[in-house]
Chain A
């Protein structure tokens, strides 16, 4: 039973030979009998470690995770969890009871309608007594910060809350190992931060944590990072050792953390600093390097300080010619509740108390309140906001799927109200919803993309021609994949095909809701490059996102939403220079700017208002060296 093996682990520790929590010896596994997803993996994880399994698509990281829970059994080799061989049928239940598993999609793993019912599911399967289950449910709710929410409905929760429920459901089984398979990849920054904090708390309480991710910020927080490549472990060590191996990461289409990229950019500017994964350490070492440069009086380092905002200009040159507003919101209000219900919800909310601390309140009264902003022809506008900030309502208003309760939405001079206004708006504004590949349906890619033009009344030949053109524009070869079923494409390709389906309608404004959500770093970069290209070719782009790095690097202007209102609007420099309180909106500042502030705290004076990519920050630091040299 679990209790006895825990005490055995403790005894082992005192005796000197700690029984590993997880031991994989020569593990190989193939899904199809041809290619090996895992190829001779040797991995030992001690109790209490916080391990990150890192790897690109097809690296076998998820396959390995499923071996740790006996969901998969190796073809060759042995996996032992706390000394139990996963291949033996009698071990399966004890292993699953002590190794909890959290999956990627928060919607897929909850079985019951009510939170307490779902948390009880695991203990019920273990045959634990009712009173004990009730006590465990209470304890688990407390541990994940959801006390008092037991009787709430699962369906009404945000993604981050659902992941917390999933973890609570595992905690109620009293596991000693927690495996998370990209569990944060579908969450917004607020949900992600909350989840990471929870994992650290659990880890401090002695839980062994194995986290599968491709997010570097998360990997940097682990105590150990294991990098997988085509089913083999290619690096294993402290984050500072693994995450600084730039070429190794690049082979897996992974980007090293910001502080490591900055070290590389500084090397190009002639400043040598050791790469650090921890941002605080990186800031200290860079500041020290700057001071060293001052002392050596190296005149050759005098670089121009004129590396201000112009740098990003190439990505979105359009901001400059604000010819006229193509789309404008004028004091727009919208609520999902009618007036009577709105009052009742206000009362209920006052009674329950505000619970926004861990996510958006589902009882918020106004989805949007007094929202005004404009989108100009040719620009690349970013809209930033966390889940529940009103961004999905905003998108539906742009597309006239709903009409504002007060105020107007004006598309190219025509108000979107009424039937003709709505038709006009839909023709001019194309919307790519979140996870657009989930809307693919036709037997072939070409047919799917031609769906929109056909609905517009195009002839068959014309619709196909438009579809072909749209596919070329998103970088897919119509001749090659036009006749393939959309379901046979890779995840990144499916998303492009879905975007082509909107482009084929030839809208003047393309609105995208979280276009990079759930993509791996390689497909993400490709997709953002594609949006820049479309923008250069003249399409106005509105990108809704909570990934601040993406917004900073690609948008000419950013509108920040907070609780249904416009919190701030301006150029990325305006937004990220500290004028806008992003934390209050549940958003981050881009990693480079965060690092720049830390370096400035170390006494290095940086000229620019905001640094939004590592090259410009590296130049800024070099300039600081040069300036010091002059003095």
Chain B
């Protein structure tokens, strides 16, 4: 059941990637996105694929876990690539469906965008797979801390993110339960209208559940002396180590390879 929606779930481990400082992973993830956006052909993507593959191997995350965590994001990939299929024009026209025109360029762009987005998500999902939510939030908070003097609520943003990630698998499994109950009441059968009717039957209970949880969670946090970020310590304080330097080197190697490939091809 948990595998239906596992984006954001932590995959416990003690690999090199797990032991990296979460700040490194967060910033590295950002740099990775920017770098992947510079890849403009298949050779570039091949370099990205190799890099992502090495990272997953270093993190010791089995292939099926990696794919399971990506599955729910595929909707975005499909949507983006289908848009490209129709919007991008160039080369021979392959198909004409009324106002919709599919051209060679569109097909190429569709495949390329799908591959690029999928790789990008695989990279980002590695961050959440190898980092505990509270570490991620701590990293975000520490990275945003310099902005606190300009009124950015750094600690609060971090906390909100962490709790959202903690509850994601929970709401996913609640959604599965609600879905089962409504299907056994005959929902979502037959016509498109019936399927449309199903949506509020899923969403209203889910949102009520969110509010119900939020109310007690706030109380439970108060009861455990939560009073904002001031004076908080950490079970595992963030510390950069030699590992983070190694990660930086790896990222630079990746960047150099990618840029070289981009320039050469």
Flag whether B241 is at the interface (Cβ < 8 A): no
Given A396-B180, A426-B186, A155 and B223 contact (CB-CB distance below 8 Å): no
Q: How far is the CA of A401 from the CA of B237 in the complex (A)?
A: 46
Contact A71 B170, beta carbon cutoff 8 Å: no
Give a binary string over A137-160; 1 marks a CB under 8 Å from any B CB, 0 the rest.
Answer: 100000000000001111110000
Q: How far is the CA of A241 from the CA of B232 in the complex (A)?
A: 47
Which residue of the partner chain A has the closest CB to B133? A113
> Given that A130-B235, A170-B224, A438-B208 are contacting pairs, would A399 and B132 also be in contact in the complex, using a CB cutoff of 8 Å?
no
Q: How far is the CA of A434 from the CA of B174 in the complex (A)?
A: 11
In the complex, A107 has a CB within 8 A of chain B: yes
B217 to A108, Cβ gap below 8 A? yes
The reply to whether the CB of B29 lies closer than 8 angstroms to some CB of chain A is no
Q: Is A314 part of the contact surface with B, judged by Cβ < 8 Å?
A: no
B84 close to A (CB within 8 Å): no
CB-CB under 8 A from A438, the residues of chain B are 174, 178, 205, 208-209
B182 at the interface (CB under 8 A from A): yes
B187 contacts across to A, CB distance below 8 A: 451, 455
Chain A, 433-450, CB within 8 A of any chain B CB: 433-434, 436, 438-442
Selecting from A118-126, A571-579, A580-588, the interface stretch reads: A118-126
Contact A455 B216, beta carbon cutoff 8 Å: no
- Contact of A306 with B by CB under 8 A: no
B185 in complex: contacting residue of A66, A116, A117, A502, CB < 8 Å: A502
User: How many Å lie between the Cα of A439 and that of B179 in the bound state?
Assistant: 9
Considering the chains assembled together, what is the distance between the CA atoms of A153 and B134 in angstroms? 13
Within 8 A of B (CB), among A392-415: 396, 399, 401
Out of A110, A114, A501, which one reaches B12, CB within 8 Å?
Answer: A114
Whether a CB of chain A sits under 8 angstroms from the CB of B181 is yes
B235 and A124 within 8 A (CB): yes
Q: Which residue of A lies closest to B215 (CB)?
A: A108
Contact mask for chain B residues 191-220; partner A; CB cutoff 8 A; 1 contact, 0 none: 000100100111111001100110011011
Whether the pair B133, A130 counts as a contact (CB closer than 8 A) is no
Kindly list chain B residues whose C-beta atoms are within 8 Å of the C-beta of A373.
Answer: none
Q: How far is the CA of A501 from the CA of B187 in the complex (A)?
A: 12
Contact yes or no, A125 B205, CB < 8 A: no
Find the residue from B64, B187, B216 having the highest chain A CB count within 10 A: B216
Distance in angstroms between the alpha carbons of A502 and B197 in the assembled complex:
17
Q: Is B235 a contact partner of A452 (Cβ separation < 8 A)?
A: no
Beta-carbon contact of A130 and B233 below 8 Å = yes
Q: In whole angstroms, what is the CA distance A336 to B234 when docked? A: 38
CA distance A431 to B213 in the complex (A): 25
Residue contact A96 to B181, C-beta cutoff 8 Å: no
In the complex the two chains form, what is the Cα distance from A451 to B204 in whole Å? Answer: 14
- Contact, CB under 8 Å: B201 / A441: yes
The answer to whether B10 and A153 touch across the interface, beta carbons within 8 angstroms, is yes
Query: CB-CB < 8 A to A120: which residues of B?
Result: 234-235
- Is A128 engaged at the interface, CB distance under 8 Å to the other chain? yes
CB contacts under 8 Å to B, within A63-81, are 66, 69, 71
Taking the complex as formed, is A196 at the interface, i.e. its CB lies under 8 A from any CB of chain B?
no
Contact B224 A121 (CB under 8 A): yes
Query: Which chain B residues border A430 with CB–CB below 8 Å?
Result: 184
Provide the bound-state CA to CA distance between A426 and B190, in Å: 14
User: What is the bound-complex CA distance between A593 and B26, given in angstroms?
Assistant: 60
Instruction: Verify if A97 is at the interface (C-beta below 8 Å from B).
Output: yes
- Within 8 Å of chain B (Cβ to Cβ): is A101? yes
Q: By the criterion CB–CB under 8 Å, are B225 and A126 in contact?
A: yes
Cross-chain contact A505 with B186 (CB below 8 angstroms): yes
Which residues in chain A, 83-141, are within 8 Å of chain B measured between CB atoms?
Answer: 93, 96-97, 100-101, 103-105, 107-114, 116-117, 120-130, 133-134, 137
* Among B12, B133, B181, B194, residue most surrounded by chain A Cβ atoms (within 10 Å): B181
What 1/0 flags go to B1-19 for Cβ under 8 Å of A?
1100000011010000000
A124–B186 CB distance below 8 A: no
- Tell me if B169 is interfacial: C-beta within 8 Å of chain A: yes
Q: Is A487 an interface residue (CB 8 A)?
A: yes
CB of A169 within 8 Å of the partner chain:
yes
Q: Is the C-beta of B151 less than 8 angstroms from some C-beta in chain A?
A: no
| C-alpha spacing A153/B2, complex, angstroms | 12
Taking the nearest CB of chain B, how far is it from the CB of A195, in angstroms?
A: 17
Task: Out of A125, A152, A156, A169, name the residue touching B232 (CB < 8 Å).
Answer: A125
Please, how many angstroms separate the alpha-carbon atoms of A156 and B220 in the complex?
A: 20
Give the distance to chain A from B22, nearest Cβ to Cβ, in Å. 12
- Smallest distance from the beta carbon of B122 to chain A beta carbons, Å? 21
* B223 and A152 form a contact (CB under 8 A): no
What are 23 A-B pairs with beta-carbon distances under 8 A?
A: A100-B223, A108-B212, A109-B216, A109-B217, A109-B220, A111-B134, A113-B132, A113-B133, A114-B134, A124-B233, A124-B235, A126-B225, A127-B233, A137-B235, A153-B9, A153-B10, A173-B224, A336-B1, A401-B184, A433-B180, A439-B182, A439-B205, A440-B205
Known: A114-B134, A452-B185. 14 other contacts (CB 8 A): A96-B223, A100-B224, A103-B216, A127-B232, A129-B233, A134-B235, A401-B183, A438-B178, A438-B205, A439-B182, A440-B204, A442-B200, A455-B194, A487-B208
A residues with CB within 8 A of B: 66, 69, 71, 93, 96-97, 100-101, 103-105, 107-114, 116-117, 120-130, 133-134, 137, 151-156, 166, 169-170, 173, 336, 341, 396, 399, 401, 426, 430-431, 433-434, 436, 438-442, 451-452, 454-456, 487, 501-502, 505
